[in-house]
Structure 1
Amino acid sequence: MEPSSEARISAIRHFNRFFTRHIGVLQEGLLHSPFPLTEARVLFEIGHGEQVTASQLVRELGLDAGYLSRILTHFEQQELIKKTRSEKDGRQFLLSLTPQGKEAFLLNDQRSREEVAEMLDDLSEEDQQRLLNSMRTIESLLTRGLKFSEPFVLRAHEPGDMGWITHRHAVLYAQEYGWDEQFEALVARITADFITNYRPGRERCWIAEINGEIVGSVFIVESSEAVAKLRLLLVEPKARGLGLGTRLVEECIRFARRHGYQKIILWTNSILVEARHIYQKTGFKLVAEEAHHSFGRDLVGETWELIL
């Protein structure tokens, strides 16, 4: 008889506990080093990579951008890494190891090789091949379901991003809807207000990147103690069809719930069909409509809300 779902879940959890204990992940310092697992992985990727950026690390390791930023700051304080501004993109910093960082990396790398070699020495040739084949099977099956295997990566805003958001909104809305420079002025005011009055525990901006290039953005800001406002959702044409717009809105919803908001509201226009589809799909309801003349066009403004 096939094992039940509960039995399968228990078996996988049992294997996870066995394997993490076997390779020493639960030790305070991996490989008898001062680095816990995540820090050791970050150090490893920087040591093995060429012109590594924080965005690439977020994508490769599936890490939260804020968490990675704290790790990199800690590494800088320990003088293990250095940052160099990219000549191709001034908003990007290339990460590399300092001499102290290389020393720590090489020590960890050597210890890792020695531990794996010791583990294999305890197995016959036949058992080693069975182990390797089984590991390849696990990797192949689970890679297809990795949650961080999306073609894009999300990060928090950085210096220069508000200028990009204002510029791209102005260009795209002029090209696609014929809106004039008054819309650019509105976006500039929204982004300036966000930076001037930024409340980290209550507000957030997400920037989406593909291979280091910005392709989208969204904001969640405080309207009142109980109400959050979603603003300035944008997805570049080249990144549409990847689920990015939905993912950005879902991040706003998760953030609002986590920080105690009771409702999210947003204002859009009926002409923005793709955005309206995303809002409807993620649970927002249209609650009000009003005709207006803005940005050089006759439009129908819409207010949507989501009860959390």
Structure 2
Amino acid sequence: MTTTDVLMIERIRDVSRRLVRELGFMETTLAGADLSPSAVHAIIEIGAGRATNARDLTQVLRLEKSTISRLMKNLIADGYLTEQRDDCDTRMKRLELTERGQACLAGITDYAIDQVAGAISSLSTREAATIAKGLETYAAALAGLTEQSSQAVQATISQGYRPGIVGRMLQMHAEYYARTVGFGSAFETRLATDMGTFFSRLENEANGFWVADMDGLPVGTIAIDGEDLGKGIAHLRWFITAEGLRGQGIGKRLIDTALRFADSRGMRETRLWTFQGLDAAKHLYERVGFELVEEKLGQQWGSEVLEQQFLRVMPPHT
């Protein structure tokens, strides 16, 4: 390790400690709420849909199961959460915010927005963007340190159709996009039609489909459609991972698997369509070689969104 490396590490350590203090993590409560930091983060993750059960919370917050159990018990007793059996997996109990929990989340959100807005008010747009990008990169690097020991290692990826998978992937997509961009029945109906068409021709060697499983439950999907955009063009479709498992490496494994397939089939380019605002997915696409090539407003999915097209050209000598 060089002297430069040591100095850089010390700078990052110092600013990390200052961030913890300035953001209030040394206090017994957080974000203006009369709750512990772990409780505040639990409410944020549940409200955002990234954690829908105890297992999700354990993975997202990186806490012990016993700690999560006590945390949930207290939040339920205090009227912030409800717990119901999951219709899709009776082994799980689904967590949802109560009216009190939603009001608490709104207060936390307002507090955090005011805090960040005040901090960057004296900065230029470029300076603020530099901060945002740097923090995203730093967080991703920290997450990468634990990826090998995460639940992603326990996930298995298999290729091909299996009974019930269309319903499962349709559910994951419909719930996610209803929450993030407000899509409803028009989106779900069209999705079901498109999926049905694709699976009716899955046996074509240009097409591929993969599922990530954990504990026997499908938690992620991805497809390569090698027909619908023309010869030599791969269409990456239906890429999703279950709530609470994003950022654990499962999505990266799925997309790497799909791209290896497209390259092995000699697809000169791979295209995908998504929507503005799905930043985590956008970063992953860019990390594996996709570039944003087109944006346009569209209403074909039931509500107006800014549609984005990404393109990846097959690497040379593949």
The TM-score, its normalising length taken from structure 1, stands at 0.50
Say whether 1:151 aligns with 2:154: yes
Say whether 1:300 aligns with 2:306: yes
| Rg larger in structure | 1
Report the alpha carbon displacement of residue 172 of structure 1 after superposing the two structures with TM. 2.0
Deviates more, 1:229-238 or 1:191-200: 191-200
Say whether 1:236 aligns with 2:269: no
Report the alpha carbon displacement of residue 235 of structure 1 after superposing the two structures with TM. 0.8
Report the alpha carbon displacement of residue 281 of structure 1 after superposing the two structures with TM. 0.8
Change (3 A) 1:149 1:249: closer
Change (3 A) 1:249 1:145: closer
Q: Deviations over 1:119-160 (max 9, x none)?
A: xxxxxxxxxxxxxxxxxxxxxxxxx989x9812111122121
Q: Deviations over 1:69-94 (max 9, x none)?
A: xxxxxxxxxxxxxxxxxxx98xxxxx
The aligned residue for residue 178 of structure 1 is 182
Task: State the distance in 1 between where 2:279 and 2:190 align.
Answer: 21
Runs of 4+ in 1 over 3 A off after TM superposition: none
Task: State the distance in 2 between where 1:173 and 1:197 align.
Answer: 26
Given candidates 260, 279, 286, the residue that maps to 1:280 is 286
Report the alpha carbon displacement of residue 288 of structure 1 after superposing the two structures with TM. 0.8
Task: State the distance in 2 between where 1:204 and 1:230 align.
Answer: 10
Change (3 A) 1:145 1:268: closer
Secondary structure at 1:150 match in 2: helix
Task: State the distance in 2 between where 1:168 and 1:237 align.
Answer: 8
Say whether 1:218 aligns with 2:227: no
Q: Percent identity?
A: 27
Given candidates 154, 165, 172, the residue that maps to 1:161 is 165
Task: State the distance in 1 between where 2:152 and 2:183 align.
Answer: 36
Contact 1:271–1:299 (CA<8 Å) still a contact in 2? no
Quick one: which amino acid aligns to residue 251 of structure 1? T
Structure scoring higher RCO (CA < 8 A, sep ≥ 6) equals 2
Q: Deviations over 1:2-48 (max 9, x none)?
A: xxxxxxxxxxxxxxxxxxxxxxxxxxxxxxxxxxxxxxxxxxxxxxx
Report the alpha carbon displacement of residue 293 of structure 1 after superposing the two structures with TM. 2.3
Report the alpha carbon displacement of residue 275 of structure 1 after superposing the two structures with TM. 1.4
Given candidates 251, 257, 265, the residue that maps to 1:245 is 251
The aligned residue for residue 188 of structure 1 is 192
Change (3 A) 1:194 1:215: same
Say whether 1:205 aligns with 2:206: no
Contact 2:232–2:269 (CA<8 Å) still a contact in 1? yes
Say whether 1:270 aligns with 2:273: no
Task: State the distance in 1 between where 2:181 and 2:296 align.
Answer: 19
Change (3 A) 1:282 1:194: same
Q: Deviations over 1:257-301 (max 9, x none)?
A: 111111101111112222111111111011111112243432111
Task: State the distance in 1 between where 2:204 and 2:163 align.
Answer: 15
Contact 1:269–1:300 (CA<8 Å) still a contact in 2? yes
Task: State the distance in 1 between where 2:148 and 2:287 align.
Answer: 22
Task: State the distance in 2 between where 1:149 and 1:170 align.
Answer: 23
Secondary structure at 1:297 match in 2: coil
Contact 2:187–2:302 (CA<8 Å) still a contact in 1? no
Task: State the distance in 2 between where 1:233 and 1:287 align.
Answer: 19
Contact 1:182–1:295 (CA<8 Å) still a contact in 2? yes
Task: State the distance in 2 between where 1:263 and 1:202 align.
Answer: 13
Change (3 A) 1:145 1:208: closer
Q: Which runs of 5+ in 2 are unaligned?
A: 1-87, 90-146
Deviates more, 1:195-204 or 1:277-286: 195-204
Report the alpha carbon displacement of residue 238 of structure 1 after superposing the two structures with TM. 2.1
Contact 2:152–2:249 (CA<8 Å) still a contact in 1? no
Report the alpha carbon displacement of residue 202 of structure 1 after superposing the two structures with TM. 1.0
Task: State the distance in 1 between where 2:148 and 2:248 align.
Answer: 16
Change (3 A) 1:202 1:163: same
Task: State the distance in 2 between where 1:250 and 1:220 align.
Answer: 12
Task: State the distance in 2 between where 1:195 and 1:273 align.
Answer: 29
Q: Deviations over 1:99-137 (max 9, x none)?
A: xxxxxxxxxxxxxxxxxxxxxxxxxxxxxxxxxxxxxxx
